[in-house]
C-alpha cells in the first residue's frame, strides 16, 4: 500500500503543540510551519483537511522535526515542512518546503495533492 508521509516543521508533544497553537494565534505571520498553519486552526484539524485525509485509501503518517534523524529518506538538503509519497520501492519528495510555504489555504493543498497522487 502506498503511503503519504507528512513532515511538519514543528516538534512533537503536548507542550510543543500548545506553544505552536499560541504562536499561530498571536503571531501567525512568523509561524514557521505553513503545513501546520493551513491544516490546523484554533480548534484542531481543519474539517475539510480531515475529510480529505479520511477519503484517501493511502496510509498516512505524520512526523515532526524531532523525528527526522530516524528517517533514512530525509536528507540534510530537505527542509520541513514537506510531503513524501512512499511505495513498495521508493520514497519520493512530492512537495518541498518552498512549495508548501507558498500555499495560502487548505484548498490549495488538497488540489495540489489530488493532482500528485493516485489512490
Q: What is the pLDDT along the chain (119 residues), one digit of tens a residue?
A: 799 999 998 765 554 454 555 545 555 555 456 787 889 777 778 899 999 999 999 999 999 888 888 899 999 899 999 999 999 999 999 999 999 999 999 999 999 999 999 76
How many Å apart are CA 58 and CA 76, to the nearest integer?
A: 26
Cα atoms in the Cβ-side hemisphere of radius 13 Å centred on 18: 2
End-to-end distance of the chain based on CA atoms, in angstroms? 9
What stretches of the chain show up as alpha helix (H) in DSSP? 14-26, 34-39, 47-55, 97-102, 106-116
How many other β-carbons are positioned within 10 Å of the β-carbon of residue 119? 12
Amino acid at each position: 500500500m502506498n503511503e503519504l508521509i507528512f513532515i511538519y516543521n514543528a516538534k512533537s508533544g503536548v507542550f510543543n503543540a500548545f506553544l505552536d497553537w499560541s504562536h499561530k494565534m498571536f503571531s501567525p505571520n512568523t509561524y514557521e510551519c505553513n503545513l501546520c498553519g493551513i491544516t490546523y486552526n484554533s480548534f484542531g484539524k481543519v474539517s475539510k483537511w480531515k475529510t480529505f485525509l479520511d477519503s484517501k485509501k493511502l496510509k498516512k503518517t505524520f512526523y515532526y522535526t524531532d523525528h527526522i534523524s530516524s528517517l533514512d529518506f530525509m536528507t540534510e538538503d530537505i527542509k520541513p515542512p514537506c510531503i513524501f509519497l512512499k511505495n513498495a520501492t521508493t520514497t519520493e519528495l512530492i512537495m518541498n518546503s518552498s512549495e508548501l510555504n507558498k500555499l495560502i489555504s487548505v484548498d490549495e493543498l488538497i488540489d495540489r495533492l489530488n493532482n500528485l497522487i493516485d489512490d
